[in-house]
Amino acid sequence: MKKLNLSLLIFFAAIPVLANDDITGKVTTVIDGNTVEILGDDNEKHKVILTGIDCPELTQAFGENAKRHLEKMMLNKKVVVKFKGKDMWGNRLAIVLIKGETDPRIDLLKEGLAWTSERNPDPELENLRIRAQEKRKGLWKEPTPTPPWTYRREQTMMEAKSS
């Protein structure tokens, strides 16, 4: 009985501890600067948006730069995905850690390739954005860069006018 208990203890100690929805997998596609597709170890595909940041749209200045930067960091890398809910359109939001430890959001903000979220920005992430802006890194080289949420609203209004 003691051998069985010890074996079970060793077995369960070896299993990585993940929260309810957390998964591990590999980044198979970088869609844009803050959206990736992950093939989970369960063989399911998961499309996730990095929570807490918003990168320029691909048709905006620095949008392609943000995507390329994220590809260099994440494409074909093992990741841990910590789901944080959904946005108002039903997209899954998550913190995605490369090899379980490196947070790409930090690098995107430091390089001036992302804004913090429009609503309720995380204070730590906001400090990184402010530092990049002060150093005029990336999109902050522009005198008045357009935030992606403003750009999307403008695009929607232009589409509505042309219909």
- Model confidence over 35-75: pLDDT tens digits? 999 999 999 999 999 999 999 999 999 999 999 999 999 99
pLDDT at 156 over 70: yes
**What's the pLDDT band for 3 if we cut at 50, 70, 90?**
low
Across all residues in the chain, what is the average pLDDT?
A: 89
98 half-sphere exposure, CB direction, 13 A CA radius: 17
CA 141 remoteness from chain centre? 23
pLDDT(97) > 50: yes
- Which band of pLDDT confidence, cut at 50, 70 and 90, is reported for residue 1? low
Q: Are 25 and 81 in contact (CB under 8 A)?
A: yes
CATH of span 2-162: 2.40.50.90
> Of residues 21 and 112, which shows the higher confidence score?
112
pLDDT at 108 over 90: yes
Please classify residue 69 by burial: count the beta carbons closer than 10 Å to its beta carbon, then call 0-12 exposed, 13-18 middle and 19+ buried: buried
pLDDT of residue 55: 98
Max intra-chain CA distance, the chain: 75
- Better-predicted residue by pLDDT, 100 or 68: 68
